[in-house]
Amino acid sequence: MNTEHALTDKIALVTGAGRGIGRGIAERLARDGALVAVHYGHSAAAALEVVAEIRKNGGRAFPVWAELGVPGDADAVFAAFDAGLREHAETERERERDVVGAAAAEGEAAEGEFAKGEAAVEGATAAEGEFAKGEAAVEGATAAEEEAAEGEAAVEREAAVEVASGGRLGSLDILVNNAGTSGSGPIGEAVPEIFDRMIAVNAKAPFFLTQRALPRMRDGGRIINISSLASRRAFPESVAYAMSKGALDTMTLCLAKELGHRGITVNTVGPGFIETDMNARRRKTPEAAAALAARSLFNRIGRPSDVADVVAFLASDDARWITGQYLDVSGGTDL
């Protein structure tokens, strides 16, 4: 599958994109051409680093801050999303105006050179070289005019994005519900505060983010939920976390059936052990890391890119006939 520019003109929102799996997903979608909203809840520095890295590599991104798991979180996310999208559109318009202005100035200069070339031809046969230069200048002027036209078209496209955002419809193509929290422990150690936090961040927030996203999502859009292998294996050491991810899996099934008529696909990706901050405590010693790696058939711990590449596939048109599915992305863990 050739994914270069596969997501051009698409707008994606990735929650929890400041680090780990979310960062990998944001960077991959941007590499495939999407404009990516990099959501974060705590570390602004990490999110801004992701945005800067995407832009350095020629992609497009902007940060979105809102804490999840608190009252009004979904509304806060999309308020920040809309503000970021408008700011991005304005920045792009200013950049394109500069390009158009420079191209116009170059065209005027080229026309002047052409006039000089004509005068030189009339003055002397020896000025043939100057005439040739004038012809080249005309060609340059034509190219400059074409570049200016392309710049104007780009401005119009960005303006359309901003109008769409302000109108709430058509301003989102891909929603990746990635943000999550873990560490609930076995049932004997569970406390209501931790349980409530697990459900609020891992299940309730994606539910209402999706609800708020649907009126603005274009037909043919993509909803991708990042679950966990813990929802498909016995995982008593973090039972509330596993329950919260199980709820996300069920939401995927229900929404896939509800949204099929709009061509919107809804799928779940279930990673196994991935090298992220979330499970760093499980890799504190070489022996512990080796034990985790041994649970995969490939004898290694997964990388964020292992998950991001699957998400990019699901976000693309190549996955248009896949919906309501749980994709195990665990490297064959515990088979």
pLDDT score at 183? 83
**Beta strands per DSSP E along the chain:** 11-14, 35-40, 60-65, 172-177, 217-226, 265-271, 326-329
User: Where residue 126 falls among pLDDT bands split at 50, 70, 90?
Assistant: very low
Six-digit token string for 144: 């400059």
pLDDT score at 157? 46
Angle between helices 20-31 and 304-315 (to 10 degrees): 50
Higher pLDDT, 165 or 147: 147
66 and 4 in contact (C-beta within 8 Å)? no
Give residues with Cβ within 8 angstroms of 203, minimum separation 6. Answer: 244, 247, 248, 251
Q: Which helix (H) or strand (E) is 132 found in, with range?
A: helix 128-167
Higher pLDDT, 89 or 96: 89
- Sheet architecture: strand order including 11-14: 60-65, 35-40, 11-14, 172-177, 217-226, 265-271, 326-329
Q: Span 66-88, mean pLDDT?
A: 96
Side-chain-facing half-sphere of 302: CA atoms under 13 Å:
29
**Residue 246 DSSP SS3:** helix
Give residues with Cβ within 8 angstroms of 332, minimum separation 6. Answer: 296, 297, 298
Q: Span 184-208, mean pLDDT?
A: 95
pTM of this structure: 0.80
User: Where residue 5 falls among pLDDT bands split at 50, 70, 90?
Assistant: confident
Q: What is the dihedral of CA 214, 215, 220, 221, to 10 degrees?
A: -40
User: Where residue 165 falls among pLDDT bands split at 50, 70, 90?
Assistant: very low
pLDDT score at 17? 97
Catalytically active residues are 227-228, 241, 245
pLDDT at 256 over 60: yes
pLDDT score at 114? 55
pLDDT at 237 over 60: yes
pLDDT score at 92? 83
Q: Span 63-74, mean pLDDT?
A: 97
User: Where residue 87 falls among pLDDT bands split at 50, 70, 90?
Assistant: very high
pLDDT score at 255? 98
- The one-letter amino acid at 50: V
Distance CA 20, CA 22 (A): 5
